[in-house]
Structure 1
Amino acid sequence: MKKSVSIVYGVLLVIGFILMALSFAFAGKKNTSFAEDSRRIELQPDRVVEVSEDVREYYFDSNQMQSEFSELTFFSVHQCVEVYADGEQIYSLEKSSTVFGRTPGTGWNTIQLQEGVKSFSVRIEAVYPAVRDHVTRFYQENDGQMVYQTMRGSVPEIMVSTVDGAIGIMLLIYYAIARRKVKMGPGILYFGIFTLMMGMWSMNEAELVAYMVKSRTAASYAGYMLIMLMIAPFAAFLQEFSEVEEKYISNIICICSFANVLVCTVLHMTGICEFKNTVFCTHFLMACDLLYLLYVILQRYRARGMDRRVRVCIWGLVILLVSYAVDMSAYYIGWRRTDVIGRFGFLLFICLLAREATAVSMEKIDEGRKAEIYRELAEHDMPTGLYNRNAYDEWASENARDRETAIVTFDLNDLKYCNDTFGHAAGDKYIQDAAKLIAEVFEPAGVCYRIGGDEFCAVIRHARSEWVEERLRRLECLERKYNEGKTDVPMRIAYGYAIFDEQYDKNMEETRNRADVKMYEKKRAIKAEERK
C-alpha cells in the first residue's frame, strides 16, 4: 500500500470509528415495552396472516400458554415488531429515525406476559425485501432463561471473536516493538488491523451481544462499517507478505474499498440506500481479495517455486474459500448456525497466517542483526573502535564539496621505533591509546577515522579555525598528561588541518591533502624538537 493510500485509509479508519461511536450514542434503544409487571418451549401460532409481502401477523391463543413461563422470545432480522395482548399493545420494535440507519437491526425480542391474558398477536414487518422470507420461531420461557440460553449458544462465537481480537492486538504490539529493532515493512501492521476488526465484527454479530446491546441499529451500522474497513488492509497485507513485484492490483482494491466506504456511508446516512441494500458491493470486494490471494500465490510460485510461503497461502486460500462460502450462505440463505463454522474457518486462517507472518518478520529481524554486525565490521576499525578507511571513502564520495567542513589529519611519530624496540603489542597499544585521545577531543563534534596504520583524521562540519585550534591545544594537553612518568616511547601526535575552500579545493580529498601538508610540517617540527 503506497504511503498516500495508507494515509487515506488511516483517515477513513478514524472517521469510521468516530461514526460507530456516535451511532451507539444517538441511534436509540433496542425496543419499547408497555408492560408494567415482569415473569423453553416452542410455541406454534394458531394462524398466520400475510397482510402483504412485507407484513405477517401471528396469532396465539391462551390455551397454548404454560403458566410456569412468563416470557415470550423470538429473533427478528431487520424487522419491525408489534406485540398485542388482548388487543392492547405491550411491546414494539420500531425503525430508527437517525442518520445511522432506519433498520431495527437483528436481535432477540423478549416480551413479559401478564397473567390472565386470553390471546396475543405479533405483527412483523420486513424492512428489506431480502428478509421477507425469514422464518420466525417463538418460544416461551422463564425470567433469565433467555440470557442463559443465549450465553450457552454464543460461547463458540464469543471464544472465536475474543481470540481474533487478542491476536490482532498482539500483532499490533509486536509490530510496534519489532520495527524499532529492524527496518521492516508494514505487513504485520496491516494484518493486525484486519484481524482486530475481524474480531470486533465477529463479536458484534454474536447472539449474546445482540441480546445485550440496547441499540441494534447502532450495532448493525458498526457491523457493516467494520466489514467494509477490513478489505483494504487485507489486500495490502497480501502484497507485503507475498513479496510479489506489483502494487497496482492491491492499490486498486484498496482505492475501490475506500470508494465503497465513502459512497455506501453517504447513501446510508442520507437515507437513499442503506447498507443492507449495498452490502453486495462489499461482498464483491471481499471476493476480489480472494482472487488477489490466488494471483499472488501464482506470482510467488513462478518466482520462488513451491516454497513455504506458497504452501501456507494455498492452505489459507482453501480455508478462506470454504469460510467465505459458508458465511455468504448464512447471510443470503439464512442458515444462521453455519456462520459459526465460517468464523472458525476465519480464525484458523488468521492463526495460520499470523504464525507465518511473525516467523517471516523474525527471520528479517535476525537478518537485520547480522547485516548490522556486517556493517559494523565493514565500517569500523576493530582495534581502535573508530570508523575505517572504507567509511571515510564513502563519506568523501557522498560529500565531495561540503562547505565549512574541516578535516584534521593525524600521524603518530616513532611508531616504527616502538614496534622494533618494544614489540608489536606495545605498538598496538600506542595506536589504541592515541585513537582514544583523538576521539575524546573530536568525536563530540565530529567523526573520527583510522585511514591507515598510524594515520587518522577527524571530520568536523560547520567548523571554524578558532574552534579547531582550541581542540588541538586540548589534544596536546592530554598528550602531555599521558606521557607523564612514561619510561618507554612517549606519545607524539603530529597534526594538521584545513577547511574546505572553493578557491583551492575541487573536493574534500583536496582539503585533506592540504591538511596532510600541514601535518607533515608539524611532524618534522616535532622531530627537530626531539633532536635538540
Structure 2
Amino acid sequence: MRNIEHNMDSAVPGCRDRWAFAAVGVVVLLAIAASLQFATWLDGPGSPEARRLDTGWFYLRDGVSEPIDSLPCTLDVEGESLVLCRDLTEEEKLHSRYVLTIRSRYASVRVWADDALIYEAAQGREHALGSMWHFIPMSACAQADRLTVELQPYGSDTYTVESMLLDTPGAIRYALLWDNGPVILFGSVCLLLAISVLTAAALLRRWKSQAYAPLLAFALLLLLSGAWILLDSKITTMGGGNYAVSYFLSYAAFYLLDVPFLLYVRQMTPNCRRLLTVLIWAVILNAGLSMALHMAGLVELRHTAVIVHALILVSLPASTAAFWDSAVRRRERLLRFSFLGQIAVYVFGLVSIALYHLDRLPAAKSTSLYMVGLSILIAGMAVDMISSFGKFWRTKEAAEHYRRLAVVDSMTEMGNRNAFQGRLDALLEQNPEQLAFVAFDVDDLKRINDQMGHHVGDQAIYTAALCIRAVFDTVGYCHRIGGDEFMVILTGKAVSQIPKLLARFQREVEARWDDQLPSCGISYGWASAAFSAEAPLTTEDLTRLQAEADRSLYQQKQERKAGR
C-alpha cells in the first residue's frame, strides 16, 4: 500500500505541471480575446509608395537632348558618363524637406543644381563601390531651375537607370524597407536560425558529442548567407555611414559562402574529403587574395567574381559526388534533404551565373535566383540537422538510461554500489575539509522475510530508503550498498548538522514505519573527520571512517535488542 501511495505522490508534480501549462495557455487566449474585444487601431507611417520622379527626364547624346519616356530604362552609352537632366517645377522646388533618392550600379554619381555641384558620391572607377543609394536633399535645389545627374557606367555599352524617388525621408525609408521586404525576411530568418543552431552546437559540445561540428558549419553557412543577402541589398546603408563596410563585407560573405557548405559535406560524408579540403582552402585563399589585390589597386574586386564562380562550378560537382555516394548509394537518411538542396543550388546557381555573364540578368538582381536555391538548400540542411539532433538525443537518452542502470538502484532510486565507489574516488580528488559517513540498516529484516514474506521485506527496505532520502537527499549523497544497508556521505557544513538531521530522520521513521512489522525500525551510526592540505584525505581514511560508522551502527542495534 505504501508503495502505491508513493507512486501516486510522485505523479502529482507531473499533473501539476500539465495544469500549469494549460493555465498559461488559457491566460494567453484571454489576452488575445481581450485584444480583440478592446481593439484600438492606429495609423501607421503611411503608404509605402513614395513619390517617384520617373518622368520629365532627358539625356544628352552627342550634345543633343533626347527625351526619356519613363524610368527605369536602359540607355546606350558611348562616352564615359551618362548625363541626365530634368527641369524642376515650382512645386518640386518648394518641397525643401524632400529627398531625391537615386540608386546606381557600379557608377560614381555627381548632381548639379543648375551649375552648382551639390552632390558627389564614390571615389571613381578604381573603387567601384556600386549598387548604392544616393540621397540628395532638395533644399540645395530651392533656387535652381534644372537638375543634372552624371553617372559613370564603367565601361559598359548600355546603362540601366533605376527609378528615382522624391519624397520625405520617412516615406523614402518606408518605401525602401517595403521594396526589400523579402530580402530582410530572408536575412533575419537566417540570422535567427544561426543563433538557434549555435545554441544547439554549444549544447552538443558540452555533452562531448562530435555532432556539434556539422552544426557549427551549418550555423556559419546561415550567418554568411543572411549577411550576404542583407549587405548586397544595401539595406544596411539606408541610414548613411561608411558604405564601403557593407560593400566589402558583402563580397567577403559571398566569396566565403562555399566554405561552410564544403565543411558540412566533409563532416557528414566520408567521401572526397581530400578534394573537399583542397577546395575549402582554395576558396579561402581566393577571397583573401582578391581583397588584398583590390586594396593594392591592382584589380577591382568586382572583376574577381569570375574566379569565385569558377570555384563554385568546381565545388558543386565535388560536393554532389560526395553526397551521391552517401545519400543515394548508401541511402543515409540524414543526408537526403541536403542532397536535394544541393541539386537546387546547382540548378539555380548555374542559371544565375549563366544569365549574369550573358547580360540577361541585371547585376542588381543577380542574387535573386541564387537566393531561391540557397533557401531550398538551407531548408534541406535544417531538416537533416533536426533529424541528426533528434537521433543524437535519442542516443543520449539511451546512454543515460543505461548509465542510470549502472549507477542507480532500481528499487530505491538511490545510488548503487557502483555510484558509491565512484563517489569515494571523487572524494579523494576533492579532499574535503569535513567528511562524514552515516550508515543505516533495517532491524530484523530476516525475521520480517521469514514471518511475513520477502515482498514485505522489500517494502521495509523501500520505506527505509524513503526516510533516508526525505532527510539527506538535499544535503548529501545517498546510496544503497547492500540488501538493507545504506550509506550517506556528507561533506562541508552539513557534517555539523548530523545530530539535527538524525533527529528529523527518527521522526520520519516514526511517521512511515509499519508498527505491525516484527522490527524495531532502522538503526544508524556515523563517523566524521576533518582534513586539510597538510593532512589530506587518503584511501585508508575512507576505510577507517566507514568502519567506524558501521561500528556505531551495530552498537545501536545491540542497544535496541537489549532494550526490548
Task: Name the TM tier (shorter chain).
Answer: 0.5 to 0.7
Q: After superposition, what is the alpha-carbon deviation per residue over 1:479-531, rounded to whole angstroms, capped at 9, x for unaligned?
A: 37734995642223254669899x9x9968x9559835862685376236514
User: What letter is aligned with 2:396?
Assistant: G
Distance 2:545 2:163 in 1: 99
CA contact (8 A) 1:301 1:310 kept: yes
Distance 1:150 1:55 in 2: 33
| Alignment length (residue pairs) | 472
Q: Does the C-alpha gap of structure 1 residues 482 and 310 become closer, same or farther in structure 2, counting only changes over 3 Å?
A: closer
CA contact (8 A) 1:446 1:460 kept: yes
Query: What does 1:190-339 correspond to in 2, within 5 Å?
Result: 190-206=217-233, 216-228=243-255, 230-240=257-267, 242=268, 244=270, 264-265=290-291, 268-269=294-295, 275-279=301-305, 282-283=308-309, 286=312, 290=316, 293-294=319-320, 296-298=322-324, 300-301=326-327, 305-329=330-354, 332-334=357-359, 335-336=361-362, 337=365, 339=367
Distance 1:80 1:301 in 2: 49
Q: Does the C-alpha gap of structure 1 residues 246 and 319 become closer, same or farther in structure 2, counting only changes over 3 Å?
A: closer
Q: What SS does the aligned partner of 2:486 have? A: strand
Tell me the residue number matched to 2:410. 382
2:521 maps to 1:491: yes
Q: Does the C-alpha gap of structure 1 residues 341 and 281 become closer, same or farther in structure 2, counting only changes over 3 Å?
A: closer
Tell me the residue number matched to 1:56. 80
- CA deviation after TM superposition for structure 1 residue 148, in Å: 10
Distance 1:59 1:525 in 2: 106
User: What letter is aligned with 1:226?
Assistant: A
Tell me the residue number matched to 2:506. 479
2:458 maps to 1:428: yes
CA contact (8 A) 1:411 1:454 kept: yes
Q: What SS does the aligned partner of 1:493 have? A: strand
Distance 2:507 2:148 in 1: 106
Q: What SS does the aligned partner of 1:103 have? A: coil
Tell me the residue number matched to 1:391. 419
Distance 2:248 2:397 in 1: 46
Distance 2:552 2:122 in 1: 95
CA contact (8 A) 2:110 2:151 kept: yes
Identity across the alignment (%) = 18
Alpha-carbon RMSD? 5.5
- CA deviation after TM superposition for structure 1 residue 169, in Å: 0.4
CA contact (8 A) 2:345 2:373 kept: yes
2:466 maps to 1:418: no
Tell me the residue number matched to 1:11. none
User: What letter is aligned with 1:318?
Assistant: I
2:129 maps to 1:136: no
- CA deviation after TM superposition for structure 1 residue 347, in Å: 1.7
Distance 2:439 2:167 in 1: 87
Distance 1:455 1:246 in 2: 59
Q: What SS does the aligned partner of 1:387 have? A: coil
Distance 2:271 2:418 in 1: 33
CA contact (8 A) 2:349 2:369 kept: no
Q: Does the C-alpha gap of structure 1 residues 272 and 395 become closer, same or farther in structure 2, counting only changes over 3 Å?
A: farther
CA contact (8 A) 2:338 2:380 kept: no
TM-score w.r.t. structure 1 length?
0.66
2:62 maps to 1:47: yes
Q: What SS does the aligned partner of 1:325 have? A: helix
Distance 1:195 1:115 in 2: 50
CA contact (8 A) 1:48 1:57 kept: no
Tell me the residue number matched to 1:345. 373
Tell me the residue number matched to 2:191. 168
CA contact (8 A) 2:183 2:233 kept: no
TM-score w.r.t. structure 2 length?
0.63
Q: What SS does the aligned partner of 2:483 have? A: coil
Query: What does 1:77-156 correspond to in 2, within 5 Å?
Result: 77-82=105-110, 88=115, 90=117, 93-96=120-123, 102-107=127-132, 124-125=151-152, 131-133=154-156, 135-138=158-161, 143=166
Q: Does the C-alpha gap of structure 1 residues 140 and 251 become closer, same or farther in structure 2, counting only changes over 3 Å?
A: closer
CA contact (8 A) 1:194 1:233 kept: yes
Q: What SS does the aligned partner of 1:328 have? A: helix
- CA deviation after TM superposition for structure 1 residue 189, in Å: 4.8
Q: Does the C-alpha gap of structure 1 residues 216 and 490 become closer, same or farther in structure 2, counting only changes over 3 Å?
A: same
Distance 1:403 1:153 in 2: 66
CA contact (8 A) 1:77 1:105 kept: yes
CA contact (8 A) 1:164 1:350 kept: no
- CA deviation after TM superposition for structure 1 residue 194, in Å: 2.5
Q: After superposition, what is the alpha-carbon deviation per residue over 1:275-328, rounded to whole angstroms, capped at 9, x for unaligned?
A: 3355556556655654563354156359x8123233323212211122322343
Q: Does the C-alpha gap of structure 1 residues 250 and 437 become closer, same or farther in structure 2, counting only changes over 3 Å?
A: farther
Tell me the residue number matched to 1:5. none
Greater RCO structure (CA 8 Å; 6+ sep): 1
- CA deviation after TM superposition for structure 1 residue 136, in Å: 0.9
Q: Does the C-alpha gap of structure 1 residues 376 and 81 become closer, same or farther in structure 2, counting only changes over 3 Å?
A: same
Tell me the residue number matched to 1:358. 386
CA contact (8 A) 1:442 1:471 kept: no
Q: Does the C-alpha gap of structure 1 residues 188 and 56 become closer, same or farther in structure 2, counting only changes over 3 Å?
A: same
Distance 2:358 2:273 in 1: 36
Distance 1:463 1:39 in 2: 79
- 5+ residue gaps, structure 1, are 1-37
User: What letter is aligned with 2:502?
Assistant: L
Tell me the residue number matched to 1:20. none
User: What letter is aligned with 2:488?
Assistant: A
